[in-house]
Structure 1
Amino acid sequence: MAKVLLSCNARSTVGKKQVTCAIRRTINKRCCSSKCHELSQREIEEHVTAATKDGFTVLRNFIPVSKIDAMSRAILPLLHKRIELGEAERGANRWYVTPPFRAPFADETIFSDPGLLSIVEGLVGKDPVLCQWASDTPMNGSEYQEIHRDTAPLFEGDLDWNAEPPMYQLGVNFPLCDVLSMEKGPLEVIRGTHRMTLEDSERMKADGSALKALEPVFMRKGDLMVRDVRGLHRGTPNNTDEPRVMIVIGYSRKWLRRPEVCVRIPESVWNRLSTRSQHLLRFEPVCPDAEIGEYSGKEGYDAKSLTQASGKSFKGKI
């Protein structure tokens, strides 16, 4: 019988490292059905509460491992093309790849899952939009990133605020391999920094307290993380020979369009999507299949805008 832990974003300690436990259920079993784990209303509320407080939450055993393995097999050739043609714009041997939006990546049983969308709506409001689908991969020889947030402040200028507004932009991440040790390059996060002003974040980095507050988020295949992209975090080195691919899905409030990233949707894929999924992707361009073609290794994002918004995690050239 599987052991069930219901603690919300509790912390455990391994040596001197704090390990994020998040909300766990059936931790020694993996999702083996063809659909994502069905979340109860209680679980949804717990995840929303945890993310609101800490800036992130982890859904354990959420995605079927068969779907993860299919994506892993499909993305490796794309990663090799990117390495052959491009510059590692996120630091030494750390690669950003935007997979074509089609099977096995364009899986609406994941990005339109009712439970996941209930959490998203609980954080950024009703009627959100899906604005990004990509991947981040540190390879052997990668390095620590600078501690950063993934977006610039929503409002700029001399504002007399002591905190940022409620959530408006989320990153949903899930790894395509087990990331259970520091050798594998886990994401490190700092709890509760998602409502911190940019100025306070910079002071926290300058005085060294940010470095002390970092904790790794260890995840298995099938786990999924929902986070406010403003929370301070960094990528860590992958010291193994297996690429540590992390899929990145972006959701925003219904009125927010990110110009620096987009999802180019093949017309044939669009025509097969449910009405719900089409509405999520309503701001994204639908293109003739022939126009999209196969992945070439070149990325089409707005490098200037992404560099300005990424908090030094992205160092691309135009």
Structure 2
Amino acid sequence: MVQSIGGIAKYSAADLDRFAQELNRDGICVIRNLFEQKLIDEWLEGFERLFYDRKNQPGGLAPREVSRYYLTLPWVYPFANQMVFANPVVMGILERVFYQEYVMVQMGVDVPFPGSDYQETHRDFRPLFSDRIVTPLYALAVNFPLVEVTADNGPFQMARGTHVLPREEGLQKIASGEIPMESFYMQPGDVSVRSPLALHRGSPNRTNQPRPMVVMGYAMHWLHTPKVDLTLPRDYYDSLPEQLRQMLRCEVVEKLPQNKAETYINFKY
């Protein structure tokens, strides 16, 4: 049963079981009202400052087609928050679908601006072996918006169940209408957990405001993830419990770099 305490949803073990079942079956689950509005407001304010700074730096933003960008978040306030990257509800779901140790490998923001268009339908990862062998959930993306996601400002679109289909079969079923390309509308505080193998795309932002969507990446400990990275300042890293230090696949530095070029550009399969 979902209960609400102080306006924030609290989830039971049965709820987490249900989310894990949806994730395995559909390739996505949506957790409503997980984060407080205050937290979202802090992240949005921090994102807006960061984006303004990054857009004036060479390579500070990764272009993702027309009027769509990606930027890695620095591990400073408000983004360095255990209740976000190690949220108990999210971790409870990951522990139900990952059968080995997993690591966090990514924390950034995807943001379409006015003038963006539909992305090509794609996957973010390749199958482990081939399309003829169903790939288990070996990597997951956890997303939450910093503004309301509507039909007009570029909702994430995905075809449920295509994470267990060969790519070409999934594309054919989408083209024929057998599997719809579904838009996922979200409120600030909502969180989605999805398989990057499910066929998906970004849609156009037809408003006059950007639509920032946070993405956190988690993967089995053995997966090589050269396109994304985490860099943590040593004082923050040393303050974390040992369990969380082991969960973070990161570079630890004495001081965060001021200017860092984005590398997560080629991401589609």
Shared fold (TM-score, shorter chain, > 0.5): yes
Q: Identical aligned pairs, as a percentage?
A: 32
The residue correspondences of 1:1-318 to structure 2 (distance < 5 A) are 30-31=7-8, 37-84=9-56, 85-86=58-59, 89-156=63-130, 161=132, 163-179=133-149, 181-204=150-173, 208-209=175-176, 213-281=180-248, 283-289=249-255, 292-294=256-258, 296=259, 298-299=261-262, 301=263, 307=266, 309-311=267-269
> Is the 8 Å Cα contact of residues 154 and 205 (structure 2) preserved in structure 1?
yes
What TM-score, normalized to structure 1? Answer: 0.77
Matched residues, number: 266
Secondary structure at the aligned position of 2:221 is classed as coil
Report the Cα distance in structure 2 between the residues aligned to 1:279 and 1:211, rounded to whole angstroms.
43
* Greater mean deviation of Cα atoms: 256-265 or 82-91: 82-91
Q: Which residue identity does 2:215 align to in structure 1?
A: V
Give how far 1:126 is off.
4.0
* Greater mean deviation of Cα atoms: 134-143 or 248-257: 248-257
Report the Cα distance in structure 2 between the residues aligned to 1:147 and 1:210, rounded to whole angstroms.
14
What TM-score, normalized to structure 2? Answer: 0.90
Report the Cα distance in structure 1 between the residues aligned to 2:135 and 2:179, rounded to whole angstroms.
26
Tell me: higher relative CO, structure 1 or 2? Use CA pairs within 8 A at least 6 residues apart: 2
Once the two structures are superposed, residues 271-317 of structure 1 have per-residue CA deviations (whole angstroms, 9 ceiling, x without a partner) of 22222221110x3211111xx233x3731x2x5xx52x422xxxxxx
Change (3 A) 1:41 1:199: same
Change (3 A) 1:70 1:274: same
Give how far 1:209 is off.
2.8
Once the two structures are superposed, residues 9-39 of structure 1 have per-residue CA deviations (whole angstroms, 9 ceiling, x without a partner) of xxxxxxxxxxxxxxx876xx953xxxxx442
> Runs of 5+ in structure 1 lacking a partner?
1-5, 7-23, 32-36, 312-318
* Greater mean deviation of Cα atoms: 49-58 or 76-85: 76-85
> Is the 8 Å Cα contact of residues 103 and 220 (structure 2) preserved in structure 1?
yes
Report the Cα distance in structure 2 between the residues aligned to 1:197 and 1:258, rounded to whole angstroms.
22
Change (3 A) 1:210 1:151: farther
Give how far 1:88 is off.
5.9
Q: Which residue identity does 1:188 align to in structure 2?
A: Q
Superposed CA RMSD in Å reads: 2.3
Q: Which residue identity does 1:45 align to in structure 2?
A: D
Give how far 1:78 is off.
2.0
Higher percent of residues as strand: 2
Change (3 A) 1:297 1:256: closer
